[in-house]
Chains A and B, each alone.
Chain A
Amino acid sequence: GENVEQHPSTLSVQEGDSAVIKCTYSDSASNYFPWYKQELGKRPQLIIDIRSNVGEKKDQRIAVTLNKTAKHFSLHITETQPEDSAVYFCAASSDKLSFGAGTTVTVRA
């Protein structure tokens, strides 16, 4: 099955700086890569996703890049704000969705 590794496990950034989270996957058949945000005590919610026929996708302050050859993908958050503080999960799917272990992002005011 698919194995997704996510780094770093924790990330602390100054408000206004950028945050980058990286994930690798093992199954070359995976072709759907969503990112979920989970605030404390809440449910995970999709923030952005990318399919394998696209190398990059952007939505306001967040962007995701995908390198199929290297089997890794990354989430970039620019101009971080306190409300970006949360746990972020990457995932990869060929037939089922497999999640990374999560990155706890703290934005310092």
Chain B
Amino acid sequence: NAGVTQTPKFQVLKTGQSMTLQCAQDMNHNSMYWYRQDPGMGLRLIYYSASEGTTDKGEVPNGYNVSRLNKREFSLRLESAAPSQTSVYFCASSKSGGGGRLSYEQYFGPGTRLTVT
């Protein structure tokens, strides 16, 4: 089991360029998430997909789009990168993302370090 994988590991973009971050999981999880991590701010949820075919905004969705391609894959797209999007991006997955008894451990990918100049 590879768990959660992400590509690329590192990326440098110029302001205005676009790119897609890829994420895949092989644990047959229903829910997938994209977070960004900035110094002193913890992990902030960008978008999530509670199940295949659904996506919802998180805390900081502006400037991003997502696609839940199938149960395994969840991609994050930056259409026009800005310096404020310089961050480390983590993808995660869990059995289910609902509250209460449906809340489960989230497994994180290794992260993508993105720099926008």
A45 interfacial by beta-carbon distance below 8 Å:
yes
| Cα–Cα, bound, A96→B46 (Å) | 11
Query: Are A31 and B97 closer than 8 Å at their CB atoms?
Result: no
Chain A contacts of B58 at CB under 8 A?
96
- B98 touching A95 by the CB < 8 A rule? yes
Interface presence of B53 (CB below 8 A): no
Residues of A within 8 A of B97 (CB): 95-96
State which of A42, A93, A101 has its C-beta within 8 Å of the C-beta of B103: A93
B41 lies within 8 A of chain A by Cβ: yes
Specify which chain A residues have a CB less than 8 angstroms from the CB of B48 in the assembled complex: 96
Min Cβ gap A22→B in Å is: 15
Is A31's CB under 8 angstroms from B103's CB? yes
Q: How far is the CB of B94 from chain A (nearest CB, A)?
A: 9
A94 and B99 in contact, given A44-B108, A45-B108 (Cβ under 8 angstroms): yes
Interface mask (B31-64 → A, CB under 8 Å = 1, otherwise 0): 0010000001111110010000000001100000
Assess whether A99 is in contact with B42, with CB atoms less than 8 Å apart: yes
Question: Within 8 Å of chain A (Cβ to Cβ): is B74?
Answer: no
Return the 3 tightest CB-CB contacts between A and B, nearest first. Answer: A32-B103, A99-B42, A43-B108
A-B contact pairs, 22 of them (CB 8 A): A1-B59, A9-B40, A29-B99, A30-B99, A31-B99, A32-B99, A42-B110, A43-B90, A43-B110, A44-B90, A93-B99, A94-B100, A95-B98, A96-B45, A96-B48, A96-B58, A96-B97, A97-B45, A97-B103, A97-B106, A100-B42, A101-B41
Point out residues on B near A: beta carbons under 8 Å.
33, 40-45, 48, 58-59, 90, 97-101, 103, 105-106, 108-111
Chain A interface (Cβ within 8 Å of chain B)? Answer: 1, 6, 9, 29-32, 34, 42-46, 49, 51, 89, 93-102
